[in-house]
């Protein structure tokens, strides 16, 4: 006759094995980090700080998907005539970082798309894009300081 507790030990063993398999498959697949940075200031020091922030994030999470949305006074970061980080924009774009200029801001400030650096794409509304990203589970960071 088998002891009464052997059934319980079998379930416990199966639970431990199942938990181990779940843990090992989670450990094998790195978490997909998706971050949207928000730039609204004309402060050029904030643009340099943003590039450092992105570089630091990529050191820890090299596969992180990162977007930078510039609108209002932050659009200066992407203006050919005003940006102080052109080489960094080129380098970060080559690493897969997406820069986006707000078309609402361009209209309000009477700017043309041709005035925006070539590394940038465009979104109809910067704030709308950020909200949509957050609704999709992206992390939000106010870039700069």
- Give the model's pLDDT for residue 3: 52
- Give the model's pLDDT for residue 4: 52
Determine the 3-state secondary structure of 68 from DSSP. strand
- Please say whether the beta carbons of 15 and 46 come within 8 A: no
pLDDT at 28 over 80: no
Question: Going by C-beta distance under 8 Å and a sequence separation of 6 or more, which residues neighbour residue 17?
Answer: none
How far apart CA 77 and CA 56 sit, in angstroms, is 19
Q: Which residue has the higher pLDDT, 89 or 6?
A: 89
Q: How high is the mean pLDDT of the chain?
A: 87
- Give the model's pLDDT for residue 1: 52
**% of the chain surpassing 90 pLDDT:** 77
pLDDT tens for 99-122 read 999 999 999 999 999 999 999 999
- Give the model's pLDDT for residue 14: 45
pTM value? 0.80
Determine the 3-state secondary structure of 131 from DSSP. helix
**C-alpha to C-alpha distances, 134 to 24, 57, 94, 137, nearest whole angstrom:** 29, 18, 25, 5
Mean pLDDT of 136-142: 97
| Tokens 């774009």, located at residue | 93
pLDDT at 56 over 50: yes
């Amino acid at each position: 006759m088998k002891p009464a507790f052997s059934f319980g030990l079998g379930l416990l063993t199966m639970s431990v094995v199942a938990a181990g398999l779940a843990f090992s498959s989670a450990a094998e697949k790195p978490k997909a980090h998706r971050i949207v940075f928000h730039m609204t200031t004309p402060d050029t020091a904030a643009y340099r700080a943003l590039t450092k922030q992105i570089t630091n994030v990529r050191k820890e999470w090299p596969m992180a998907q990162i977007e930078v949305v510039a609108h209002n006074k932050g659009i200066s970061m992407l203006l050919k005539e005003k940006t102080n980080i052109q080489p960094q924009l080129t380098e970060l774009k080559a690493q897969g970082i997406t820069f986006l200029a707000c078309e609402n801001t361009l209209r309000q400030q009477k700017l043309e798309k041709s005035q925006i650096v070539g590394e940038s794409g465009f979104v109809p509304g910067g704030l709308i894009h950020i909200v949509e990203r957050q609704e999709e589970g992206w992390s939000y960071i106010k870039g700069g300081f």
